[in-house]
Structure 1
Amino acid sequence: MQNAIVTPEGDRIRWVELPGREPVRVYVHGLGSTAPAYFAASAVNPLLAGHRSLLIDLLGHGHSDRPAHFTYTLEAHADALAAALTAAGVSGAQVIGHSMGGAVAIVLADRHPQLVSRLVLVDANLDPVPAGPAAPGSSGLTSYTEEEFLAGGWAEVRDRVGEHWWSTMRLAGREALHRTAVHLARGTDPTMRETLLTLTIPRTFLFPEADGELPGADALTASGVRVQAIPSCGHNIMLDAPDAFAEATAKALA
């Protein structure tokens, strides 16, 4: 376990680091998750093993600190992640981001281009979504004000998300969880999709085949993004289809 101070107040981001060769691979988790739980098996899969790999928990999540003063915008997450990677001596990393972590990875590549050489986006959030119980990826978090969520809305969310997601979501700071969900639903300006289209590094977008056609796939492909459907999986592709995920990710990073 490694760590780095990423805010003026001394808050630390922590990560599990696996030794290996360059380029560094950075694995970034989704909302209410933690990178070691979601990516450990992938990072040591024979198709992906051997590189220096950072399984990193964003501020407010997992093993990292949970400051109540932090804004938890996607931009703030990306800047804190950049500070951690810089402290770790990382540059030109291959970044694999799942869901919300993919959105943060896009912002990271845009704001700190020296840190990112390739992107693998795993069913990542690309567009703003309306707030409310049906907001994708938020499990209704955005239907509460922060005060309502802290006062008891978190328990209702716990009952909705089920044991698997809650096993990591419960580790997140409650302010961090709510603010991150709100800013994820709100998105960035320009949007994550618009930013992704303008990046010039190699980019791959993986999504579940069962979801049907990916919205905006033609524009992504036209801009150079490699779009690939993964069979027999849901949103957590690396957990549901580990071999297919490893194969697709290894190809994207080759």
Structure 2
Amino acid sequence: MKEYTLKNTSFKIRYHDFPGSETAILFIHGLGCAGSFDYPNVASQPEVSNHRRILIDLLGAGYSDKPRDFTYTIQEHANYLLDFVNELKLDRFILFGHSLGGSVALTLAAMCEEKVSQLILTEANLDSGGGFTTKVIASFEQSEFISTGFAEMIHENKVNSNELWAACFSNWLPQAAYQASKSAVEGQTPSWREILYGLSCPKTFIFGEKNMSDPDANILADHRIRIDKVKDAGHSMAWENPEDLARAIMTSINVVRD
């Protein structure tokens, strides 16, 4: 594991950087998750092993620092990630974002479009209002979520057999989860959907097979965004079927090459 210190701070994000001769893939995880937790099993699949694979833990999550004097909006995450890709001298890279991490990825892509050779999203948050979990978190006052809501949510997910997510979420700073969720619910201008439609690079949106009834499957296809699915999986496809997620990522890359 490596680390990067954010500019003008002592805060460090930590990440895995697996070598490969092909274009780097930068993985940005979703709410309650961590690159170090979600993506090693995806990154180790032979389909993607020729690519450099960079798996970050966002600030406030996983093994990264958890400062309380940081504002954990989606824009602020994208700001330090832009510095990060510049520090790594990633002149061209494939950008992958899952769920709320998809919002971060889209915000980052808008800031360095010339560097993004391809965008791959898995059930990314595209609109204000957020998803189910972000809405629940944002419904609290911040102090209430930190004092009781965070622990309650971890307990409820353990009881409801969502133990992997609960285990990873327990390593988040509650403030980071709250502020990121609030940011997702409030949205931004331009919206993440507008950014997605406006990007000129090749774009793929991947659903878990169990969620293919989502109306966005047709809406996004109408906007010339390639659609794929991960079989036998729902939203947490990196855990549910990492082999087929790696296949879907590589299929997207090969379509562009062809």
TM-score when normalising by structure 2: 0.90
Alignment match, 1:192: 192
Equivalent residue pairs, number: 250
Determine whether 1:17 maps to 2:17: yes
Deviation of 1:139 (Å): 7.0
Kept in 1: contact 2:135–2:185 (CA 8 A): no
Deviation of 1:7 (Å): 3.8
Deviation of 1:35 (Å): 0.5
CA gap of 1:139–1:186, structure 2 versus 1, over 3 A, is closer
Alignment of 1:109-124 (within 5 A): 109-124=109-124
Alignment match, 1:202: 202
Alignment match, 2:64: 64
Opposite residue 188 of structure 1, the aligned amino acid is Q
Alignment of 1:144-223 (within 5 A): 144-162=140-158, 163-223=163-223
SS at match of 1:47: helix
Opposite residue 140 of structure 1, the aligned amino acid is V
Runs of 4+ in 1 over 3 A off after TM superposition: 216-219
What is the identity percentage for the equivalent residue pairs of Structure 1 and Structure 2? 31
Determine whether 1:77 maps to 2:73: no
Opposite residue 67 of structure 1, the aligned amino acid is P
SS at match of 2:46: coil
SS at match of 1:106: helix
What CA distance in whole angstroms lies between the structure 2 residues aligned with 1:228 and 1:52? 22
Identify the range of structure 1 (143-152 vs 218-227) with the bigger mean alpha-carbon deviation: 218-227
CA RMSD of aligned residues (A): 1.7
Kept in 1: contact 2:47–2:246 (CA 8 A): yes
Kept in 1: contact 2:32–2:165 (CA 8 A): yes
Gaps of 5+ in 1: none
Deviation of 1:214 (Å): 3.0
Deviation of 1:212 (Å): 3.8
Alignment of 1:28-39 (within 5 A): 28-39=28-39
Gaps of 5+ in 2: none
Deviation of 1:222 (Å): 3.3
What CA distance in whole angstroms lies between the structure 2 residues aligned with 1:194 and 1:249? 23
CA gap of 1:178–1:14, structure 2 versus 1, over 3 A, is same
SS at match of 1:178: helix
Per-residue deviation, residues 107-162 of structure 1 (Å, max 9, x unmatched) = 111112233211110111111226xxxx5133721121111112222111111222
Kept in 1: contact 2:62–2:168 (CA 8 A): yes
Alignment match, 1:42: 42
Kept in 1: contact 2:229–2:248 (CA 8 A): no
What CA distance in whole angstroms lies between the structure 2 residues aligned with 1:5 and 1:232? 39
SS at match of 1:117: strand
What CA distance in whole angstroms lies between the structure 1 residues aligned with 2:250 and 2:133? 26
